[in-house]
Amino acid sequence: MSQAETAVAGAGRATSPLWTFGILRSELTTTLRRWRTLALLGVLAAVPVLIGIAVRIETGDGSSPGPGGGGGGPAFLSQVTNNGLFLVFAALAVTLPVFLPMAVGVVAGDTVAGEANAGTLRYLLVAPAGRTRLLLTKYASVLVFCLVATLVVALSALVVGLLLFPVGEVTTISGTRIGFGEGLLRAGLIAVVVAASLTGFAAIGLFVSTLTGSGIAAMAATVGLLITVQIVDGIPQLSAMHPYLFPHYWMSYADLLRAPVYWDEVVKNLGLQGLYAAVFGSAAWARFTTKDITD
């Protein structure tokens, strides 16, 4: 059953929490079954594989860094040969600036604009569920995708790291050593924090999606905004603006590998994402609740 048919069939149960859960389940099923979404997840899963194979080839037996492989490359990359768990951290460091947010931007940009372009949005709103509930459901589905995409990268990196490199105690950024089990728990925590780091950008994508009836235009505008902000964040002369840009603290997850954990920038990051989510989520709500879906 399509989303439109599900919405119409549930018109009489619109006030039921179970009906709301049904819409969310339908939205998630539709989003995760799209070939575009599967292709995005496939690319994200392939990144750790390529990194792991490249590092393995570079180091030969995988037990020690080869020539020139001691400190170059993304964060944590030089530690992968000593402990395969570091491939998780390295893969997230590679994908977080561009690949992960681009995937989120594509999905978020298509949430409302894609429905409008396909002509199904008006049918979704036939049922008296309310635009607010529908918008919250769509945003929730994007947040779930943020977590799924991040876990795909982390799990792919973990599997490749276990297969290609030795594992054992983890040397933290502070120089202390923690057990593999604790390192694995920190890797899970880092994955959750990385997913949470994308919530503000997801709200921006949702807002952009309410501004147009073209899914392609919304996706392009969202990704274009991401690239622009990343460029601004890299210009030293604009350093006064940097703490207010949504990607500025994305890499703060590295502080979770300190002993003890350094929370200051992680908390700043999560607070900034919450602010962006509130501002652009409210803007999306204001636009969507007054949007003429017959146009």
In angstroms, the CA 273 to CA 175 distance is 30
Mean pLDDT, the chain, whole residue set: 82
| Residue at 202 is within a domain | yes
In angstroms, the CA 242 to CA 235 distance is 9
At 129-150, the pLDDT tens digits run 577 888 888 899 999 999 999 9
| Residue at 295 is within a domain | no
Determine the pLDDT at residue 122. Answer: 53
| Residue at 293 is within a domain | no
> Packing angle between helix 215-233 and helix 199-209, nearest 10 degrees?
140
Predicted structure pTM score: 0.83
| Residue at 149 is within a domain | yes
Measure the CA angle with vertex 150, ends 190 and 124; round to 5°. Answer: 130
| Residue at 294 is within a domain | no
Determine the pLDDT at residue 53. Answer: 92
The answer to whether the CB of 199 falls within 8 A of the CB of 146 is yes
| Residue at 280 is within a domain | yes
Determine the pLDDT at residue 237. Answer: 92
Which of 112-116, 124-128, 247-251, 284-288 comes out lowest in average pLDDT? 124-128
Q: What is the number of domains present in the chain?
A: 1
Q: Which residues of 113-145 are buried (b: 16+ CB within 10 A; e: fewer)?
A: bbbbbeebbebbbebebeeebbbbbbbebbbbb
At 201-249, the pLDDT tens digits run 999 999 998 888 777 888 899 999 999 999 999 999 999 999 999 999 9
Domain extent at residue 137:
3-288
| Residue at 204 is within a domain | yes
Q: Using 50, 70 and 90 to split pLDDT, how confident is the model at 171?
A: confident
Q: Is the pLDDT of residue 7 over 80?
A: no
- Tokens representing residue 34 in the block: 């799209």
SS (H, E, C) 139-178: HHHHHHHHHHHHHHHHHHHHHHHHHHCCCCCEECCCCCEE
In angstroms, the CA 86 to CA 59 distance is 15
| Residue at 190 is within a domain | yes
